[in-house]
A and B are shown apart, each in its own frame.
Chain A
């Protein structure tokens, strides 16, 4: 089941512009230089519909999982994949993919963000994904652009759709809090 079907879309909709539903941020003001483009990263963005390993694949160890509490929604950028479900399918990119244009505005994070996947276009939902050596995929919805305001129905369907693409053993980190 490669691409989104009407059934998926019903529970994922609406498509949201970056920061839509975020009460504190807006596309016009908060999208920083280096966060808006994706042309530079097209070779690194993986289309998840075929359930292959994403480019620059890296697994998190069980020890790292515990240290960074990734199974509870904690963050470990070194082994984090950002994901977004756009109007077609789920797209992934390794978070540590360098983004020098962003460095001037985010010196603490000179690597890609969710809008570098979409080119700042609309998407249904997004978050982070960790492939663990224990065979599980830990999924969260931590994205100020596409995830923070997602509803429970959106989140359930996002997990289901990613599973429909063939990814196995997906665990929602936000359910482990």
Chain B
């Protein structure tokens, strides 16, 4: 496993970590909670509806990059504690930010989020059980200018994409520190290595849009749950589908775009794999989505 040789701090902000007597006596919840304590809670305590968060902690702590010391996981039960640590020089690279603390106070939640954005360069996953109502707060000018710095996830959601919410967060963290890692997709363990087709694990979403979620899951099983140059090539070869291509016009056209196909002479069929090899997965997806892709 190739590592990037840099330790990344992962801040996990949530006020609903299970509260146990021993930790209360030690004052654990009033300060930064170290990974050992988080893992202890994940292993032995009941997290109720937050069991997805529990699994995420376990997946991070048992990952190879964590074992090799490239991930430093820190929990905070209050954003003020995290902000205080940032001011003291602890730099977060990824923040998993729960929106609610006790009674819902959206003004406070926005204020803290903005402070975290402004006081760090971290990528922030806004992680909430009330995802449906949050966009009204985030679709604002003060957040829009930082929109490449955060992403909203509904806790425990399985409906967004081929990645469940926590699986997406896990792959993001692991890809921050490693060129290859064991990821989870729909609960399955997947060995992912950066490759010529997919520069990062989240690019798997391109494959999902090209093949469809169910088909892609089936194809991943067929390649023994491993995604690398060879297996992605096999997946691309497994379909008989094609695009039309004009060398002269420098354009790829979807077979559905019949009225455009009718206008252009000298089109040739080009397989999905040829498109990905010659151009890119992104161009393949663009042509399928927009009907054409210029190259």
Contact = CB atoms under 8 A, between A and B. Distances in A.
Contacts of A100: 134-135, 138-139, 152
Contact of A98 (B139, B153, B213, B263): B139
A103 B292 contact: no
A7 interface: no
Contacts of A174: 259-260, 263, 292
B291 interface: yes
Given A29-B213, A74-B294, A103-B151, 19 more contacts: A22-B256, A24-B212, A24-B288, A33-B157, A73-B251, A104-B160, A107-B168, A141-B291, A144-B289, A148-B257, A148-B290, A148-B291, A149-B256, A152-B262, A174-B260, A177-B251, A177-B260, A177-B263, A177-B292
B131 A105 contact: no
B159 interface: yes
A16 interface: no
Contacts of B255: 23
The prevalent SS among residues of A at the interface is loop
A122 B179 CA distance: 44
A126 B34 CA distance: 52
A33 B260 contact: no
Contact of A142 (B136, B168, B241, B291): B291
Contacts of B260: 174, 177
Interface string B212-229: 111000000000000000
Interface of B: 131-132, 134-136, 138-139, 144, 147, 151-154, 157, 159-161, 165, 168, 202, 205, 212-214, 241, 249, 251, 254-260, 262-264, 286, 288-292, 294
Interface in A96-123: 98-101, 103-108, 110
A32 B158 CA distance: 12
Contacts of B259: 150-152, 155, 174
A27 to B, nearest CB: 13
A142 B161 contact: no
Contacts of A8: none
Interface in A4-35: 21-25, 29-30, 32-33
A48 interface: no
Contacts of A72: 251, 294
Contacts of A142: 290-292
Contacts of A141: 291
A74, A105, A150: which has the most chain B beta carbons within 10 Å?
A: A105
